[in-house]
Structure 1
Amino acid sequence: MFTRKTLLKTTSCLLLLACILLGSFPQINHAEEDLLDFAEKSGFPVKEPYRPKASIVIDADSGQILWEDQPDLSWSPASIAKVMTMYLAFEAMEQEKFNLDTTVTATEQYVAISQIYALSNNKISLGVDYPVRDLFSMVAVPSSNVATLMLANLVSDNDEADFIRKMNDKAAELGMSNTTYFNCSGAQISAFDGLYQAPGIDPNGENKSTARDLAILTYNLIKKYPDILQFTSKPVVKTMPDTPYEETFETYNYSLPGAKYGYDGVDGLKTGSSPTGAFNYIATAKKGDVRLIEVILGVGDWSDQAGEYERHLAGNAILDHAFSTYEYKKLLSKGPNTIDQKEIILEQDFYGFIKKNTEPSFTLKDGQLALKSDYGQVSPEIPVQTVSYQESEPKAVDNESVKKNTRQPSTTKNADHNYLVSSILAVFGILLLVFSRVFRKRVAGVRRGSRKTSTTTTRLLFTVGVLLILSAISVWIFL
């Protein structure tokens, strides 16, 4: 005779068998967030051949990651390398070595470099003094290689190898652990036809970085030197205005408002492309009080110049996804709060980024409260934002009150729950039996004259249906 325990074990086995049988059907795995899916919804559709090889989005204020895909993939940044050159130039100005009005005189070397067709450049005239502010615009917008070298030589007193060492030292200092520089512009030294000399540096060496490292660089650049945005925010710029050497340049950053794929809030920062790096892009955008930074690497293929535009569709879609998925708001108020059943007192209001329509979770450690996030910080060098707290004194407990307020288990509620479970199992079992019968008739209609009218599918549906009904009976009687 079966005991209650034996029947429960039998029921469990039947349910396990049903799960195994059901698991034999092919399952479709839907990623929680897929670029091609949300890009279509955002109005910036991305085709599979133009899916970035790597990408990342971070909050420009806290360094919190809001999106990432292969953020540590080693990649050639191409002309995005110029961002580090501009960083070191701003740092030199902070150290009062020169200012935006300081000029660099065009030498024969610079004129010759400006005439190398294979390099992106602008016109440079012999003997003309070019202000640093115009060199910044030439580097940021037309991605001029000669202007980049002029700026780098100003920082390093014309010691080109020393400047490259400064680039690598700064990368290490900022926590860019997977970045190596061999030149100041993104174009190999060998591409300068002997006009760019850096003793001790491999002339054929190619710069390497990652989406994460470039996000770290941009985070520090905007934090420390926000004036960089005045050189990257306009779709059209003029250099050397009101002089015989005036030039007008249209940006390659087609996500700037007013450009081909303008996205509201974008005000920088730099594009880059090369045969090995394909099409890359660093963008920053601000909406309200929120500023985001994104890095897009490896869009398309160098042989298909459509990637120059497609990178901005991908960039816009990812930015839009981050802005629409996350919100920055007050998460906790100053004063008493209960976190993980612990009573604490916050010293001030606590703000942070969380996904919309979700509840935040927190960590408490050493008197500091921090927000738990899906992806964490872009760098361990950038600490998580915290707020100080103190633990509250435990309140005296009235045992009688606790007894009165303690809810006793409800037998009726448990019984209702068991009836509901058994009913659901029975309904699904009956439906599967009906489906097996319907499919059996269809097969019979197709195979007229044949006695064999069942298939693996019909037998499977029938078996699972019976198991579910048996399970329902067991739950109803014994649980």
Structure 2
Amino acid sequence: MFTKKTLFKTTSCFLIMTCFLLGSFTQKSYAEEDLMDFAEKSGFPVKENYRPKASIVIDADSGQILWEDQPDLSWSPASIAKVMTMYLALEAMEQGKFNLDTTVTATEKYVDISQLYALSNNKISLGVDYPVRDLFSMVAVPSSNVATLMLANLVSDNDEAGFIRKMNEKAAELGMTNTTYFNCSGAQISAFDGLYQAEGIDPNGDNKSTARDLAILTYNLLKKYPDVLQFTSKPVVTTMENTPYAETFETYNYSLPGAKYGYDGVDGLKTGSSPTGGFNYIATAKKGDIRLIEVVLGVGDWSDQEGEYERHLAGNAILDHAFSTYEYKKLLSKGSNKINKKEINLEQDFYGFVKKDTQPSFKLVDGQLSLTNNYGQVSPNIPVHSVRYQESTSPADDKPSAKHEKKNSSAPSKTNKTEYNYLVSAILAILGLLLLVFSRVFRKRIAGVRRGSRKMATPTTRFLFILGALLLLSAIGVLLFL
């Protein structure tokens, strides 16, 4: 004899099996697909041998991670290391040590470095004064190693080892826990043929970082020094304009609008490539009020220069995925709200990043409401966006009305649950009846084949009959629990 418990178990097993079967035929949501899937859909297909080794995309305002893949993989950032050099130069300017019009005079050492064929560079002429604003453009666009060293030495008063120590100190301060710098430009000190000296620093040391750490660096850079984008947003730049030393450079950031793989909204930031790091890329893009930061590391192999272009297909696909999957909107209004079964009063409207067509969930901790996010913050040093709340308290004479409101507010959900149970019960009953009918039909067919024999049950007909009966009982079980 079937008990309620047995019926409940039978119903549950059937529903689980049904969900599993339906799930196997249901296409994954856009937000749940991996890079190779959503890259194809976005129109920026990524070949398997150019899949990034690590990548991440975050909201530039809150530091919320929107998507990631191997974000803590240790990797050589190559010329992306120059972003930290620019950060420290901008910080020195903020401290009043120099400004964009300050000049650095080209010495023989700088001229010799500019002529090293193995390093990315630009022309430097002996005795010429190079303004800091032009050095920034030389660092950001042609990724000039000599301009990077000139800028670093300006910051550190020519203490090359001291500047590298500043880089590591700043990394630690920003929470870049898996980053170590051995040089200011991404090129090993030993590659400078003795022209770059940093006492106490391993000349063969290769900078190491992660996608997460580089996203943290870029987040802080854009928060504190957003004007850096003036040096990274153009596909073509000319330095030392209106002088005999003018040079024009095309960007390596092929995702900038107007470049080979232009993506709407991209306005920086830095590319990097090396034998140990492959092809890397930091990008930032803005659409409407939303600005994103992405980091892509380890695309392709240094021996295959196609990686220089393919990193931008991956980068564009990741940006497109984030812009298409998420939206920033008002989630809760100021005043009374019911969150996690608590009546609370918010001090102000609450906005946040959520996946489209989903219901957000919230956390209430120590009087602060925040959004629950599967990926979390890019760094524990970057606090999650929150708004203060107070739990609602009602006077004694208001309690009956409060209970009445609570009852009314919960009524729709109960009604929905009841309607859902009726639907499930009806489906189970129909399936059960169909199986019972099929079992009878099969018995008749068997009797027809065996001429003159009476209707006999077979293993198949017994199975159909038992399964049909179980489905009918399950339907009854669902109704019993209404």
TM-score class, shorter:
0.7 to 0.9
State how far apart, in whole Å, the 1-side matches of 2:469 and 2:114 are: 83
Over 3 Å counting, the alpha-carbon distance change for 1:165 and 1:360 in structure 2 is same
Q: Secondary structure at the match of 2:399?
A: coil
Q: CA deviation at 1:40?
A: 1.6
Q: Deviations over 1:440-461 (max 9, x none)?
A: xxxxxxxxxxxxxxxxxxx999
Q: 1:123 matched to which residue of 2?
A: 123
Over 3 Å counting, the alpha-carbon distance change for 1:467 and 1:336 in structure 2 is same
Q: CA deviation at 1:422?
A: 3.0
> Is residue 2:432 matched to residue 1:426?
yes
Over 3 Å counting, the alpha-carbon distance change for 1:358 and 1:462 in structure 2 is farther
Q: CA deviation at 1:8?
A: 6.2
Q: Secondary structure at the match of 1:4?
A: coil
Q: 1:390 matched to which residue of 2?
A: 390
State how far apart, in whole Å, the 2-side matches of 1:333 and 1:18 are: 38
Q: Kindly provide the amino acid, as one letter, of the partner of residue 237 in structure 2.
A: V
Q: CA deviation at 1:341?
A: 2.2
Q: Kindly provide the amino acid, as one letter, of the partner of residue 113 in structure 2.
A: I
> Structure 2: which 5+ residue stretches go unaligned?
444-457
> Structure 2 length as normaliser, TM-score?
0.85
Over 3 Å counting, the alpha-carbon distance change for 1:427 and 1:184 in structure 2 is farther
Q: 1:221 matched to which residue of 2?
A: 221
Instruction: Give the RMSD, CA atoms, in angstroms.
Output: 3.4
Over 3 Å counting, the alpha-carbon distance change for 1:221 and 1:471 in structure 2 is same
State how far apart, in whole Å, the 1-side matches of 2:297 and 2:430 are: 50
Q: Kindly provide the amino acid, as one letter, of the partner of residue 471 in structure 2.
A: A
Q: Secondary structure at the match of 1:40?
A: helix
Q: CA deviation at 1:475?
A: 2.9
Q: CA deviation at 1:387?
A: 1.0
Q: Kindly provide the amino acid, as one letter, of the partner of residue 423 in structure 1.
A: A
Over 3 Å counting, the alpha-carbon distance change for 1:404 and 1:384 in structure 2 is closer
State how far apart, in whole Å, the 1-side matches of 2:164 and 2:108 are: 22
Identity between Structure 1 and Structure 2 (%): 74
State how far apart, in whole Å, the 1-side matches of 2:89 and 2:8 are: 73
Q: Secondary structure at the match of 1:398?
A: helix
After TM superposition, the structure 1 = structure 2 runs for residues 328-477 of structure 1, keeping only pairs within 5 Å, are 328-394=328-394, 396-398=398-400, 416=422, 419-426=425-432, 465=464, 468-475=467-474
Q: Deviations over 1:117-138 (max 9, x none)?
A: 0100000111111111000000
Q: CA deviation at 1:417?
A: 5.5
> Is residue 2:274 matched to residue 1:274?
yes
- Range that drifts further, 392-401 or 101-110: 392-401
User: How many residues are paired up?
Assistant: 452
State how far apart, in whole Å, the 2-side matches of 1:372 and 1:148 are: 41
Q: Kindly provide the amino acid, as one letter, of the partner of residue 475 in structure 1.
A: S
State how far apart, in whole Å, the 2-side matches of 1:460 and 1:54 are: 55
Over 3 Å counting, the alpha-carbon distance change for 1:432 and 1:328 in structure 2 is farther
> Is residue 2:163 matched to residue 1:163?
yes
Q: CA deviation at 1:4?
A: 2.9
Q: CA deviation at 1:419?
A: 4.4
> Structure 1 length as normaliser, TM-score?
0.86
After TM superposition, the structure 1 = structure 2 runs for residues 2-151 of structure 1, keeping only pairs within 5 Å, are 3-5=1-3, 9=6, 12=9, 32-151=32-151
> Is residue 2:210 matched to residue 1:210?
yes
2:7 and 2:473 in contact (8 A); partners too? no
1:422 and 1:471 in contact (8 A); partners too? no
Q: 2:237 matched to which residue of 1?
A: 237
1:54 and 1:297 in contact (8 A); partners too? yes
Q: Kindly provide the amino acid, as one letter, of the partner of residue 160 in structure 1.
A: E
Q: Secondary structure at the match of 1:397?
A: helix
Q: CA deviation at 1:168?
A: 0.2
Q: 1:181 matched to which residue of 2?
A: 181
Q: CA deviation at 1:465?
A: 5.0
Over 3 Å counting, the alpha-carbon distance change for 1:419 and 1:200 in structure 2 is closer
Over 3 Å counting, the alpha-carbon distance change for 1:326 and 1:162 in structure 2 is same
State how far apart, in whole Å, the 2-side matches of 1:363 and 1:48 are: 39
Q: Deviations over 1:74-120 (max 9, x none)?
A: 11000000000000000010111111111111111111111110100
2:11 and 2:474 in contact (8 A); partners too? no
2:56 and 2:294 in contact (8 A); partners too? yes
2:93 and 2:99 in contact (8 A); partners too? yes
2:367 and 2:389 in contact (8 A); partners too? yes
Over 3 Å counting, the alpha-carbon distance change for 1:124 and 1:417 in structure 2 is closer
State how far apart, in whole Å, the 2-side matches of 1:73 and 1:398 are: 58
Q: CA deviation at 1:468?
A: 3.0
- Range that drifts further, 195-204 or 364-373: 364-373
State how far apart, in whole Å, the 2-side matches of 1:173 and 1:45 are: 38
State how far apart, in whole Å, the 2-side matches of 1:183 and 1:129 are: 24
